[in-house]
Amino acid sequence: MADIRNQGRALLRGMPAVEGTIVIALTILLASPRSGPGAEPGPILPPLVAGKCLGCHGDGDASGGITFESLPPDAPIGEQARLLGLAIDAIDSGAMPPDGEPSLDAATRSEAIRWLQHRLGEVAQGIATPSLPLQRLNRFLYNNTVRDLFRLSRDLFPLPEKLLTRYDPYLLALPGPSPRLPEVVHVACHALEPSPGLEGVKPYPKDLRAEHGFDNQADELTLSPLLLDTFLRLAHSIVESPDFTPDTVGIWGEFFAAPAEGSDREAEIRGRLKRFLRIAFRGPVEAETVDRYSAFALSKLAQGLAFPDAMKKTAAAALSSPRFLYRVTATGHEDMPLALASRLSAFLWGSCPDEELLELAERGAILHPDVLDRTVTRMLADPRIERFLDTFPSQWMQLENALAATPDPILARDFHLVPGTPASLQMVLEPLVLFDTVFVEERALTELIAPSSHYQSEFLRSWYQGVQTPPAAEPDRAAHDESLRRHLRSREFRRVPCDDPRFGGIITNAAVASMTSGPKRTHPVARGVWIVDVIFNDPPSPPPADVPPLAEDAADPSLTIREHFAAHREHPSCAGCHTKLDPVGFALENYDITGRWRDGYANGRDVDASGTLFRRHAFDGAVGFKGAIVAEQERFARAFTAHLLRFALGRDLVPADRLVIDGILSRSARQGHAIKALIRGVVQSESFRDFGQSPDADAR
Amino acid sequence: MNLSRRSFLRAEGALLALPFLPSLAAADGLPPESAQPRKKLAIVYLPNGIVRRCFFPGEGHVDAPDFIGGFEADKIKHERRIKNTPGLHPLELTETLEPLAEHVADITLITGLDRSYKDGQDVHAQGASCYLTSVSPKMAADRGIAHPNGRTLDQVIGDAVGHATVFNTLEISCNGFTAPKEPIEFDNISWYGPGRIAPSIREPQKLYDRLFLRQGYRDHVADVTDLVLADAGSLARRLGREDRRTLDEFMEMIRGIERRIGKMDRLLIEADVRIPTQEVLPRGEYIRLQMDLMLTAFRMGITDVCTFMIGPERWDATLMYEGVFDQPVQHHEMTHNQKGDGFKQLQKIDRFHLEQYAYLIRRMKEIKESDGRSLLDHSLVAFGAGLGDGATHQFFDLPMILAGTAQGEVKQGRFLKMPSGTLNSNLWLSLARVMGLEIDSFADSTGVISELFA
């Protein structure tokens, strides 16, 4: 220990007071837990850190910009948590100790991680969740909220972000002990030509996805003058659209239609607006607001407008209100139930709370875990759950990029056979329907990686297994083309067992292979980035600006891509990330630029797809690689849950969320981390009802 | 004056010459006869740098520089930069610049300008988002701002001159990519302040809607303003300080729209402008249509200050350049593959962009202002890139071409070689001064570029 104290002298500086306790630092790593998982306060850590970490991560070197030696005395507690999180990830994944250093034996590793997690838990308690800023509705939420508010029978405007159109109501498969999708489902991707929406209604721009995030992250959802202009224009154009009629608007009779002759018009208007504004503003509305809107409607009538027109103007005014456009999160305990209802409906229905949710929130009943769970059950069985499946899976898997894939028309002739209908329109359906299946049938989460059965179209079957090179001569070529064209139009997806383990699952499919390839060759690094980001929730930092990409024109054509890329791992400033990215990216090298299997390259060399995952699981190709991920299923489930939680909360995760995820995982383990079980876990978690502590909450 | 029977746009998207409309000049409330056409400023941004040695005269012999990029490039810029003899030189046109042949008397080519780089951000992201920034890397570091994207030059100028127009500024982009691949920093050079984007408009139809408010919409805004402001007030009472600030901004934006509509009503009754269609135009036509809409905005007094991105930074997806290449190409990827004859392909894109610039200048010469002089005579049009050379992604030796005399203040037809390392912010300061701002510094500027002035 003397030696350790010596080496870690700087670690012994005083740390700031936390919750009244003076933490005299041993380091953040070495601090002795007040009550540990075992009796001894982690005796394993001090020699481990001193012996294995400080050599590189001490002040002298601070390799990778990380030092465990000295934190300034006022180091924010968040920085401590960040370092702990990094240490856990690095040790857990086997990235540390690095190559060339003796690795940890399994017992030491798990003991070290146990203590680090415990320490993180202590540190995280001192970190308040940052408060969420006032956020505007994103485009998807706007569309659905307006639809639900008016019970409108169609979308407001084209939604190209909706990649999967389902022609069968299979999401509401018969509930029961083992819900099961039908043998055949009918689906299509209309993202390149989405249905037009209401005439005269122009969409606002698609919200950008936060980097490694979703399009619903609160801090991205700000309002510019340009966007406000668009919102005001939208409000007006929706109710004035020639398509906004008694036929399309479900609430026409109860809201827009003139009341019976002789009724008290003013009272009638007040009553209608009270109900309407309550849904529109996602909560109870004070009398003075109802008064204002009623006065507005009456003034329109006084100007000579017909009753439905006056109500249209009033509805358009409500759609222009900040109380409609902004989602308010809780700023105090009394707002919390409503904020929870709003978060829940945004998460699962991509919309506003319905009357039942509002009622539960107003009574406060929604805070009760049993009521909340019954509510989730109801919401999962409601047709609106389709909105969750229209956003989360495609954004999580970044599948909109599949439609941007433009493989070289000579190398991939079949991809572009029908102008305007690229093969990617079929490809993108495969992982999305699989997600639906795993969701509805409540399969184990690893079925996303290596499914037992899945849905395939005739097009995809022939893409993977059929003729790979179009026949050179007629009439075979014409027959080949005709068959492809016919299959391209088909909406039929049929349940088939996954008997060829090379195919199936969200990793080894044509959509992901195509979108992670350039026009002429595969991009193993892009594939590696996709894997570590999507599958392991561990996105790499962007490449440093001072590194040249591969100079392809000067490349030796006899080398394989792997040989070209060897330079990445030799260059010290690249090795840190590329030792992580390249092996997983190269695991998919047997899939060409459009996801077809290949054993060799055009230059005659064989594909080498071997590698090692987390320094533990050697594999010789994609099948073994998927097996390794299944073997590491806890890690995949953890990553998936982190994505799900970030989507549900609309914010980046903080250290305390890490512990929340632990809890969700342990509760869903029995169900194999089925997606619905994870959703229940997310909704019941502390994070879900934590709206953060505004630094000025009491200043109001 | 009623514009309703006039058409600004031909079907192909080119502008018809409009007779001068005195009412437009009167938008600021001055009587028409005393109204002097106001100065206009357009800043055109080129993504992914240029092939420098094909761009500037006298550099053709230089070898293709190796990629260095960003911070590393910045550290060794004094060894790597192209040595020049400062001063005014006659303007000769390189092959890349040939499309400007008809305009040599109206432009100034400038070299020797550097930007300050702040480490820790992608060069393309900083390249675009901080091109016009008023916050230098040092100022950003002092204030604890991660990326130095402060309030941009166009906004600062708009603050000072925008009272006369409907909008302080207008932001246009010609991002033709359908894939939402890159973060917002790559497609926006105008920012209200750190992290607060002034979003660029990439769709002609959206731009059209932004410029010409329809009657029904104007009535809607007039109708609902009071209700909306009252709702904002009742909402604000329930919020914390940060959120109340957001709502204050909301209310200010609502009032801004109301003011704008007021100005618009004085400008014109109903402009019968042909609405651009949704169809996908060939790239050149698309860029020129966006330019036409910008000129319409200048022409009608809708704004005097506009930023115009001819394309977004990086965006590693293919794009069709009709008439230039038969196949879709990736501009950014081409900048990294210039060895051998690779640069010649890339040069075609540079030339293509200069053809668009030449079109803009030509149109501005054709359009006459109230005093009978051309729109170009009253304007300054900057055309430059955030990266000095696509091969290196460097932040030094930036390309810049200025067109227009801004009412005789700027002398044209020259090649101005600035002492190497002159800060680009000096140019921005000079532009601000031309636009009438009485400021002594901008970002890390050290002074105006006096050689520009007549």
The average pLDDT across A460-481 equals 86
Which helix or strand (DSSP H or E) is residue A487 part of? helix A476-489
Amino acid at A480: H
For A245-271, the three-class secondary structure string (H helix, E strand, C coil) is: CCCCECCHHHHHCCCCCCCCHHHHHHH
Report the SS3 class of residue B407.
coil
pLDDT in tens, A366-421: 999 999 999 999 999 999 999 999 999 999 999 988 998 889 888 898 999 998 89
Q: Is residue B159 within 8 Å of residue B168, measured between CB atoms?
A: yes
Region A50-66 average pLDDT: 70
Place of tokens 């996954």: A498
Considering only A262-266, A430-434, A549-553, which range has the smallest mean pLDDT?
A549-553
Mean pLDDT score of chain A: 84
Please tell me which of the candidates B72, B179, B336 has its beta carbon nearest to residue A404: B179
CB A371 within 8 A of CB A360: yes
Q: Which of A119-128, A252-261, A582-591, A639-648 has the lowest mean pLDDT?
A: A119-128
In this prediction, residues A137-142 reach a mean pLDDT of 92
Residues 6+ positions from B281 with CB-CB distance below 8 Å: B13, B204, B289
Burial of A521 (0-12, 13-18, 19+ CB in 10 A): middle
Which residues make Cβ contacts (< 8 Å) with residue A173, sequence separation at least 6? A179, A180, A181, A182, A440, A441
B-chain residues near A208 (CB < 8 A):
180, 183-184
Residue A526 contacts B where some CB pair is shorter than 8 Å: no
- Are A296 and B72 inside 8 Å of each other by CB? no
The three-state secondary structure class of A173 is: coil
Whole-number Å distance between alpha carbons of A427 and A407: 14
> Measured between CB atoms, does A238 come within 8 Å of chain B?
no
Identify the pLDDT of residue A214.
Answer: 84
Sign of CA dihedral B212, B216, B222, B227: negative
* B45 three-class SS: strand
Residues in B closer than 8 angstroms to A205, CB to CB, are: 199, 206
Mean pLDDT of all residues in A117-136: 78
Among B38, B19, B61, smallest CA distance to B368 is for B19
Fill in the amino acid letter for A661: I
Which tens digit of pLDDT belongs to each residue from A649-672?
Answer: 988 888 888 889 999 999 999 999
- Do β-strands A14-18 and A21-24 pair in parallel, antiparallel, or remain unpaired? antiparallel
**Among A445-449, A526-530, B240-244, the range of highest mean pLDDT:** A445-449
Q: What is the pLDDT of residues A17-36, one digit of tens each?
A: 233 222 323 344 554 444 44
pLDDT value at position B407? 96
Strand, helix or coil at A413?
Answer: helix
Q: Binning pLDDT at 50, 70 and 90, where does residue A105 land?
A: confident
- What is the pTM (predicted TM-score) of this model? 0.76
Name which of B284, B337, B328, B334 is nearest B314 in CA terms. Answer: B334
Sign of the CA dihedral B105, B108, B109, B112?
positive
Which residues are CB-contacts of A50 (< 8 A; sequence separation ≥ 6)? A3, A4, A7, A8
**Nearest residue, CB atoms, B257 vs list A228, A695, A699:** A228
Give the mean pLDDT of A435-454: 96
Taking the C-alpha atoms of residue B344 and residue A488, their distance in angstroms, rounded to an integer, is: 39
Q: What's the confidence (pLDDT) of residue A679?
A: 97
Q: Which of A561, A548, A615 is nearest to A588 (CA)?
A: A561
pLDDT digits 0-9 by tens, A550-561: 555 456 777 777
* Chain B positions in Cβ-Cβ contact with residue A700 (cut-off 8 Å): 237, 239-241, 244
How far off is chain B from A341, nearest CA to CA, in Å? 18
**For residue A92, which of A525, A536, A397 has the smallest C-alpha distance?**
A536
Rg (CA), chain A: 28
Confidence at A575, pLDDT banded by 50, 70, 90: confident
- Is A309 a residue whose pLDDT tops 90? yes
Min distance B260 CA to chain A CA atoms (Å): 11
Edge-to-edge strands, sheet with B305-309: B87-90, B414-423, B107-114, B398-403, B379-385, B40-46, B305-309, B170-173
Q: Is the peptide bond before A175 cis (omega within 30 degrees of 0)?
A: no
- The reply to whether B255 touches chain A by the CB within 8 Å rule is no
The strand ranges marked E within B77-235 are 87-90, 107-114, 170-173, 191-193, 196-197
Helices A265-280 & A287-302 angle (0-180, nearest 10): 130
A520 in reach of chain B (CB within 8 A): no
How close B105 gets to chain A, by Cα (Å)? Answer: 38
Cβ neighbours of A542 in B, within 8 Å: 122
Check if the beta carbon of residue B217 is closer than 8 Å to that of residue A676.
no
Does residue A276 surpass a pLDDT of 90? yes
| Among the partner residues B70, B240, B249, nearest to A696 by beta-carbon distance | B240
Q: Greater confidence, B212 or A480? A: A480
DSSP readout, A278-308? HHHTTS---HHHHHHHHHHHHHHHHTT--HH
Q: Distance between CA B314 and CA B189 in Å, rounded?
A: 14
Parallel, antiparallel, or unpaired: how do β-strands B40-46 and B305-309 relate? parallel
3-state secondary structure of A138: coil
From the list A557, A525, A574, A547, the residue with the least C-alpha distance to B336 is A547
Q: What integer pLDDT is reported at residue B19 of this predicted model?
A: 35
The yes-or-no verdict on residue A37 having pLDDT over 50 is no
Do the Cβ atoms of B23 and B267 come closer than 8 Å? yes
CB atoms within 10 A of CB B396: 25
Nearest alpha-carbon partner for A519 in B323, B46, B362, B318: B318
B64 touches chain A (CB under 8 A): no
Classified as helix, coil or strand, B109 is strand
Please report which residue ranges of A151-257 form alpha helices under DSSP H. 225-240
Q: Does B70 touch chain A (CB under 8 A)?
A: yes
Determine contact, residues B182/B315, Cβ cutoff 8 Å: yes
Task: Compute the distance between CA of residue A350 and CA of residue A562 in angstroms, rounded to an integer.
Answer: 43
Q: Which member of A209, A237, A542 has the closest CB to residue B122? A: A542
Q: What is the mean pLDDT of residues A203-221?
A: 73
CB contact under 8 A, B180 and A208: yes
Regions of chain B where pLDDT drops below 50? 1-34, 268-272
Q: What percent of chain A has pLDDT over 70?
A: 85
Question: Which residues of chain A make contact with B199, given a CB cutoff of 8 A?
Answer: 205, 224, 226-227
Q: Report ipTM for this prediction.
A: 0.77
Beta carbons of B159 and B174 less than 8 angstroms apart: no
Which residues 121-160 of B are in CB contact (within 8 Å) with A? 122-123
Query: Is pLDDT at A629 greater than 70 in this prediction?
Result: yes
